[in-house]
Amino acid sequence: MALSKNYVYVICLSSLLIFSLKFALANARSKPSPAPEADSPTATPTPTGGGLLGVFDVTKYGAVADAKTDSKSAFQAAWTAACKYAGDSTFVPRGEFLVGLISFCGPCNKSPNVEIRGMLKALSDPSVFKEPTWLEFRDLSSINITGAGTGMLDGQGEASYTGHGCSGGQCPISLKITKVSGGTINNIALVNSKGFHMSLLLSSDILVRDMKITAPNKSPNTDGIHISQFTNINITSSTIGVSDDCISIGPGSNNIYISTVTCGPGHGIRVKSWPGSPPSKVSNLKFEDIIMTNVKNHIIIDQEYCPSKGCETKPSQVEISDVLFKNIKGTTTTKSEVTLACSSSMSCENVVLANINLKYILPDGPATSTCTNVKGISITSMENPQPCS
């Protein structure tokens, strides 16, 4: 989806959101990266895992569960051995492990399985990260990562929340998936990331489920999950409460399905880019069956958005079409419940609002809805607020 740098579409929320949300960005296409090739046969290493065949326990490679000793080398060694083994599993037992920046690279002999039962802690000083990533899995035909219900990645981001110390102004992402063509990520808690908690980039066909992602209320730019140049992803049965976007969607993304996710506090679900983009398209978005509790800024298309003084003032060149908002109910603390502010040079087309009931709970009502530069809007069963024309 060629969104480039022009803010396109946003749903901002500040409290609790429980939803079943479907994305189908059919008219936004980008050429996917080729899947990595399988590794050529190599000498098979001997697994070390307390007698479990094919289990590569990081403690057998020198990892120390004292939350003080940097176990980066041990984790890297366990991964390297497992990657060469046919039917590998990298295992992290219970305990607290301090781990520096690592890139777990493929290709591997077989789809790796990574089980994290303990807690991994990032180095607390953001200035030691010369790259904006803490843990990365890349160049894999598939990957399966599980926390088995107890695993946790603690980004120890407190020192970075003041906006100082990160290399080049970019704070590291806790978990990054790059050029991976299949797999699952499940049952892991991600907390206190310095930057985004999870980034999914240049990949396809991933299931993300049963995740718990949290950060303090004043932790800037700590998006829960960021998706970019990605095809076919299912995010389900998860809870995300951060100080920025719950889930953010960037350029080149297609066929995104989000369901049974609780968002809040945070900024909700956002399809975004920044001013100045070339002509591009966003289409076939469906937001359905959403419950909102004391939320600000429920439903927004804002093609005039500018987060800083340096934005270009010319109208957006992003074409938005075929957008559905259906069965959205709850309570609001802002009067402007529905805002459709489309580009003056590129009207939004075929926007549907159906069965909307958002009750304004403060005494200075009523709430309002605004529609600007929308062509072909359809409104049915809109109880609150009163529909715009």
Which residues are catalytic, by number? 244, 267
Question: How far apart are alpha carbons 343 and 341 in whole angstroms?
Answer: 7
Residue 76's alpha-carbon distances to 66, 106, 115, 341, in angstroms, are: 18, 12, 15, 49
List all residues 6 or more positions away from 319 whose beta carbon is below 8 Å from its beta carbon: 279, 280, 281, 282, 283, 346, 349
Q: How many CB atoms lie within 10 A of CB 169?
A: 9
Q: How far is CA 91 from the centre of its chain?
A: 25
Cβ–Cβ < 8 Å for 78, 59 = no
Cβ–Cβ < 8 Å for 145, 116 = yes
Tell me how long the chain is: 389
Question: How far apart are alpha carbons 360 and 15 in whole angstroms?
Answer: 14
Q: Pairing state of beta strands 348-360 and 374-375?
A: parallel
Bridge partners, 300 (sequence order): 10, 339
Q: Classify the C-alpha dihedral 317-295-247-206 as positive or negative.
A: negative
